[in-house]
Structure 1
């Protein structure tokens, strides 16, 4: 999947008004995910993504394995994205849905294996989840 296709999918599925908004939602979600993952996992996933998207998984705090709950994950995405929490929840779910299509199932399984079961809601809801979910 190319960069423009990834961002276009996020924009379309999340009903965002611009590609810029989709880029910000993608960055906020993937940077937060990269902080939560440990070791080389963010870099392994990034290797399967186009450069612009991959960069969001390869920032300074990537692979630190910082432990935080799913609620905290959504709070961090909300802050990074600069949107209200319910919007950040939905956007994050959409970004993860597109990520699942962009990288191999094995890599998704590796990511999920590092996260507690409460994160299943992030991976399973996607754009078909509630438009404005409660975190």
Structure 2
């Protein structure tokens, strides 16, 4: 999926007022799981993203494998996106839905499996049930 298409889908799902907030939300959300995922998995995910999104996410992959829960996840996204935690969770669900369509299904299976149950709840319904802590 191309960069413009991803941002457009995120904007539509979140009903953000423009492309800039959708871009900011997308970057914030993609960066945060990259910190949580094992480094190899974060690298594989980044490799399937458009270059414009992959560049900033790659920087977070350096600190990958960090363990944190949904509250920390929401707080980090809110801080990066300049929003509150409730909006951060809505943005996260939208970006993860778009990510699910943008990367290979097998890779998304691995991403889902590497996330704890509370964060996995933000994934599209079919993915949220997959994986284990």
TM-score (norm 2): 0.87
**What corresponds to 2:110 in structure 1?**
110
Counterpart for residue 64 of structure 2: 64
Instruction: Name the structure 1 match of 2:34.
Output: 34
Question: 8 Å contact 1:43–1:57 — kept in the other structure?
Answer: no
Cα 1:62/1:14, change in 2 over 3 Å: farther
Contact 2:11 2:18 in 1 (8 A): yes
Relative to structure 1, the CA distance from residue 31 to residue 60 in structure 2 (aligned partners, 3 Å threshold; closer, same or farther) is closer
Shift of 1:121: 1.0
Using structure 1 for the length normalisation, give the TM-score: 0.86
Unaligned stretches of 5+ residues in structure 1 = 126-135
Look up the match of 2:19.
Answer: 19
Given the alignment of the two structures, is residue 7 of structure 1 paired with residue 25 of structure 2, yes or no?
no
Task: Report the Cα distance in structure 2 between the residues aligned to 1:73 and 1:55, rounded to whole angstroms.
Answer: 20
Which one has a larger percent helix, Structure 1 or Structure 2?
A: 2
TM-aligned CA deviation for residue 57 of structure 1: 2.4
Shift of 1:119: 2.0
Stretches of 4+ moved more than 3 A in 1? 60-63
Aligned partners of 1:42 and 1:63 also within 8 Å: no
What SS class does the counterpart of residue 68 from structure 2 fall into?
Answer: coil
2: CA distance between counterparts of 1:82 and 1:72? 15
Aligned partners of 2:28 and 2:82: how far apart in 1?
9
Q: CA deviation at 1:67?
A: 0.4
Asked whether the 8 Å contact 2:32–2:73 carries over to 1, the reply is yes
Residues 60/124 of structure 1: CA separation in 2 closer, same or farther (3 Å cut): closer
**Partner of 1:81 in structure 2?**
81
